[in-house]
């Protein structure tokens, strides 16, 4: 890096950076990089143990951040959100199939566009019963290549892959599954080891179940007491940072952030 931002900083994409949103130092850098008048460089300052790095640089480019979940009730992160546009991608099976068709037009390795389109239409036959993902496409193409080399039916291989993904009926009501509720419980305990109240709030939102159910399941893992009420804690400030839908099986897409 030089005194000014290098050329590659004209556009930066940070993919799947959920943990970054919990880092106060990183959020401070993002705020600096996103704050400023239109078409003017923003001054970013930071501390570093590396002597070769300057203590500040000017940034005039665009930032694009993607994430599956966004923290709530986090004032530092809210300050970042106030500087960006937020776009939510929530693709239906029909959207996914249409994207696959567009990609199939370009072919894949030794597969022609017609070959790829045939694979996509076969995947589409499962759209009514399975929750599809764009990540299925390339592995399906590779299964076709393998099947041709081995002299076997590629549809059997692709069908086997599709049968491993969740059924739509199962995904529609994840909160009705005890396994899902317990999976969410383990997740919130990991995310908020020092705050039972944060665990409760995150778990209740993720599952749609009651506070009483949360503590009943938590006691099954180990004895615990409900958190003190606000009056009992005498109004002590409580820092809440929780994720929504982290364990939701449905592929909810990504949140995309960019500079205004």
Condensed to tens digits (0 to 9), the pLDDT of residues 172-203 reads 444 456 777 888 888 888 878 888 888 888 88
Which residues have C-beta within 8 Å of that of residue 246, sequence separation ≥ 6?
Answer: 68, 69, 187, 191, 206
d(CA 211, CA 200): 7
* Residue 59 and residue 105 in one domain: no
Give the percent of the chain with pLDDT over 70.
67
In a domain, 253, yes or no: no
**105 vs 1, which has greater pLDDT?**
105
* Residue 68 and residue 136 in one domain: no
* Residue 147 and residue 198 in one domain: no
Q: Looking at the 3D structure of the chain, how many domains does it have?
A: 3
Whole-model pTM? Answer: 0.45
Across the chain, what does the average pLDDT equal?
A: 71
pLDDT of residue 126: 78
**253 vs 51, which has greater pLDDT?**
51
* Residue 157 and residue 132 in one domain: yes
Task: Tell me 22's DSSP state.
Answer: G
* Residue 141 and residue 211 in one domain: no
**Banded pLDDT at 4 (limits 50, 70, 90):** very low
Per-residue pLDDT tens over the stretch 30-89: 777 777 666 666 767 766 666 777 677 777 677 787 777 767 666 777 777 777 777 777
Identify the bridge partners of residue 72 per DSSP, sorted by sequence position: 242
In a domain, 51, yes or no: yes
d(CA 69, CA 241): 11
The last residue of a domain, from among 143, 167, 191: 167
Write out the residue range of the structural domain in which residue 16 sits.
Answer: 7-88
In a domain, 44, yes or no: yes
In a domain, 231, yes or no: no
CB 3 within 8 Å of CB 54: yes
Note the residue count of the chain: 260
In a domain, 258, yes or no: no
* Residue 78 and residue 102 in one domain: no
In a domain, 250, yes or no: no
């Amino acid at each position: 890096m030089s005194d000014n931002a290098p050329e590659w900083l004209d556009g930066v994409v940070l993919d799947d950076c959920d943990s970054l949103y919990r880092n106060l130092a990183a959020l401070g850098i993002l705020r600096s990089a996103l704050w400023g008048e239109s078409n003017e460089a923003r001054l970013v300052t930071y501390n570093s143990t590396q002597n070769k790095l300057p203590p500040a640089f000017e940034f005039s480019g665009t930032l694009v951040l993607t994430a599956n979940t966004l923290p709530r009730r986090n004032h530092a992160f809210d300050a970042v959100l106030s500087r960006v546009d937020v776009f939510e991608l929530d693709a239906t099976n029909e959207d996914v199939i249409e994207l696959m068709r567009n990609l199939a037009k370009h072919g894949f390795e030794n597969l022609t566009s017609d070959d790829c389109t045939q694979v996509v239409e076969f995947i589409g036959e499962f759209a009514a019963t399975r929750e599809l993902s764009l990540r299925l496409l390339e592995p399906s193409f590779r299964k076709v290549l393998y099947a041709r080399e081995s002299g076997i039916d590629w549809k059997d291989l692709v069908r086997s892959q599709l049968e491993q993904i969740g059924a739509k009926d199962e995904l529609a009501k994840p909160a009705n599954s005890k396994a899902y509720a317990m999976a969410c419980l383990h997740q919130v305990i990991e995310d908020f080891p020092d705050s039972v109240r944060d665990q409760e709030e995150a778990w209740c939102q993720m599952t749609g179940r009651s506070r009483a159910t949360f503590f009943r399941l938590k006691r099954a893992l180990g004895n615990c007491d409900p958190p003190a009420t606000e009056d009992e804690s005498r109004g002590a400030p409580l820092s809440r940072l929780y994720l929504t839908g982290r364990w939701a099986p449905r592929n909810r897409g990504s949140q995309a952030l960019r500079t205004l």
